[in-house]
Amino acid sequence: MKVGQKMQSNFAAAILIEKIVRETYTKRSSTAIQPLQWSILRYLQRTPDAQCTMSMLANFLGLTHGPVVRAISTLVKRGLVEQTANLQDARSKTLTLTKAGHEALKLDPILGIASRIGSLPENDRQQFVKLVRSLAMYPVKEDLSENEVNTSN
């Protein structure tokens, strides 16, 4: 395969990944749980309480505090997450899922992708999981989205 064809194939695969993820989150209204909020709920479900602080969450998500604070605020208002005093660090609060938060996760849209992966033939499923892990762990050399793109031609 020529270099140009390989890049085109890689780009097409990336678009398919984006399409799968976008189709996963079908509810887009302002009252729906948004993708970042789902990520927060998942993190809180799987992480020990001592690591459920705003700073650790933002670090895990690779985001600044601003978007995380706004998302947590929304989740608290909806009764899905609660904030309590952090016994190890008085400067921060511990985030925990409420019963409603645990119930919401039963409807997590990402479960649909997990089901699709689970329905693959076993060899394909194992290979897919291995490849996705490799892709997630492979260091990014350059973020092209931060490069300026000249569209005035």
Closest CA to 97 of 86, 107, 105, 89: 105
Q: Give the CATH number, domain containing residue 84.
A: 1.10.10.10
Residue 84 included in any domain: yes
Residue 81 included in any domain: yes
Total domain count, the chain = 1
Confidence grade of residue 60 (pLDDT, cut at 50, 70, 90): very high
Confidence grade of residue 153 (pLDDT, cut at 50, 70, 90): very low
Closest CA to 85 of 95, 99, 75: 95
Query: What average pLDDT does this structure show over 47-70?
Result: 93
Query: What average pLDDT does this structure show over 53-74?
Result: 94
Tens of pLDDT along 99-145? 999 999 999 999 999 999 999 999 999 999 999 999 888 867 665 55
